[in-house]
Amino acid sequence: MPVFYGKHIASPLMLGTAQYPSPAILADAFRASGAGIATVSLRREAGGGQDFLRLVEGLGAAILPNTAGCHSVKEAVTTAQMARELLGTDWIKLEVIGHSDLLSPDVFALVEAATELSAQGFKVFPYCTEDLSVAERLLRAGCEVLMPWGAPIGSGLGLNNPHGLRALRAAFPEVPLVVDAGIGRPSHAACAMELGFDAVLLNTAVAKAGDPVAMARAMAQAAKAGRAAYLADPIEPREMAAPSTPVIGKAFLQ
Amino acid sequence: MKLTINGERRELNAATVAEALAALDMGDARVATALNGDFVPAAARADTALSPGDALEIVAPMQGG
C-alpha cells in the first residue's frame, strides 16, 4: 500500500469529491471503495462550505486539498496557504494549469511553485507530466511523490503514454508515483498499477458513472488487482504463439 | 467602505478583515482569507486593516478532484 511523506495509506485508490449526484452518494462511494485519500478544492464561501467540510471529515479518508484552477505560481501558493490553515494539513495537490483546453500542467510554473511551497514546509503532490526532466526538477524542489497525468482531466481516455509512465517508474524506483487524471475505466486503473504505480487518483470516472457507488468499488478492486499483478511479476508479451499445452506426448491420430 | 468581496463590489462597515467577516456573519465559520491576493492567517485578521477598494477573498473547502 502506498506511503506518502511517511504516512501509510490503506488503499491504492485516491478519489475526488466533485460532481457526484448527491452528498449521500459521495459518502457511499467512499465507503464502498475504501478510498484512502479524498481530494477537495477551495472555493469562495457562498453557503454550503461548512456542511461539505463536515461531510469530508467524516469520510475516513486523509484529505488532500488541491490548487485546481490556478494558472500562476502566486495563485497556487496563496491557495495552498489557505488550505493548510483550513484543513490542518500540510499536504497539497499542486496544480498549475498551463492550457485551458487540455488542462495540462504548466511545468515551469509547477517547479517554481513546488520549490516555494516545499520551502514553506508543505508536502507537495505535484500534478505533472511523465517528462523525466520535469520529474527530476520536482524531486530536486523537494517533492517526495509525483503524480503524472494519464490523460487530460475528465477525458476518461486512460493512459495516453504507457511507455512514458513505464520509463518514469524505471527511472525513479523509490519514489511514490500516482497516475492522476484521465482514468475512465477500471481497466485503466489496473493498467497503471500493473506498471508499478503506487496509486491512482480519479474523480469523474466514478462521479459521472451511472452508478457511482458500484464504479467506485470496481475501481478499488481493479487498482488492488493491478498492484497484486505487478508484485506477482507478470510475463513479458511476445509476438508469436507459444503453446501452453505440452507438445510432447500428443497422440498420433492421422 | 467600498470593498470587493469574493468578486462582488459592496459597501461594508469594517476596518479590519476580522470585522469584515463578522459583518458578513462569518465570524465563526471555518473559512480562509486572502487580501489583495495575499493569504491572511486567521490569527492576523484582527490586525489586518482594510482600505477602500481592497479585494477580500473568503474561501471554504468544496468539491474537488
pLDDT at A47 (0 to 100): 78
User: What tens digit of pLDDT does each residue of B14-42 get?
Assistant: 999 999 999 999 988 999 999 999 999 99
Q: Looking at the domain assignment, is residue B38 inside a domain?
A: yes
Tell me the whole-structure pTM to 2 decimals. 0.94
User: Which chain B residues have any C-beta within 8 angstroms of a chain A C-beta?
Assistant: 6-7, 26, 29-34, 37-39, 41-42, 57-65
Contact (CB, 8 A) for A143 and A176: no
Q: Looking at the domain assignment, is residue B24 inside a domain?
A: yes
Domain count, chain B: 1
pLDDT at A64 (0 to 100): 97
Is residue A224 annotated as part of the catalytic site, yes or no? no
Q: From chain B, pick out residues whose CB is under 8 angstroms from the CB of A20.
A: 63
Burial class (CB in 10 A: 0-12, 13-18, 19+), A212: buried
Q: Which residue of B has its CA nearest to A81?
A: B39
Axis-axis angle for helices A107-119, A73-87 (nearest 10) = 40
Task: Please indicate whether, in this complex, the C-beta atoms of B61 and A20 are within 8 angstroms of each other.
Answer: no
What is the spatial distance between Cα A37 and Cα A14, in angstroms, rounded to a whole number? 5
What is the spatial distance between Cα A42 and Cα A80, in angstroms, rounded to a whole number? 9
A80 is in an annotated binding site: no
| Chains A & B: contacts with CB separation below 8 Å | 106
pLDDT at B61 (0 to 100): 94
Tell me which amino acid residue A68 is. A
> What CATH number does the domain containing A228 carry?
3.20.20.70
Q: Looking at the domain assignment, is residue B33 inside a domain?
A: yes
pLDDT at A31 (0 to 100): 96
Task: Please indicate whether, in this complex, the C-beta atoms of B60 and A42 are within 8 angstroms of each other.
Answer: yes
Annotated catalytic residue within A7, A74, A93, A250: A93
Q: Residue A193 sits in which domain range?
A: 3-232
Residue among B7, B41, B62 whose CB faces A42 most closely: B62
Structure ipTM over 0.85, yes or no? yes
Q: Looking at the domain assignment, is residue B12 inside a domain?
A: yes
> What CATH number does the domain containing B31 carry?
3.10.20.30
Written as nine digits, the cell of A196 is: 508499478
Neighbouring CB atoms inside 10 A of A26's CB total 27
Contact (CB, 8 A) for A114 and A124: yes
Q: What is the mean pLDDT of residues B42-64?
A: 96
CB burial of A42-74 (b: ≥16 within 10 Å; e: otherwise) equals bbebeeebbebbebbeebebbbbbbbbbbeebe
Domain count, chain A: 1
A129 is in an annotated binding site: no
Q: Where are the beta strands (DSSP E) in chain B?
A: 2-5, 8-11, 32-35, 38-40, 55-63
What is the spatial distance between Cα A213 and Cα A35, in angstroms, rounded to a whole number? 12
Q: Looking at the domain assignment, is residue B64 inside a domain?
A: no
**pLDDT < 70 regions, chain A:** none
A89 is in an annotated binding site: no
Q: Looking at the domain assignment, is residue B49 inside a domain?
A: yes
CA-based nearest distance A147→chain B, Å: 13
Q: Looking at the domain assignment, is residue A253 inside a domain?
A: no
Q: Residue B14 sits in which domain range?
A: 2-59
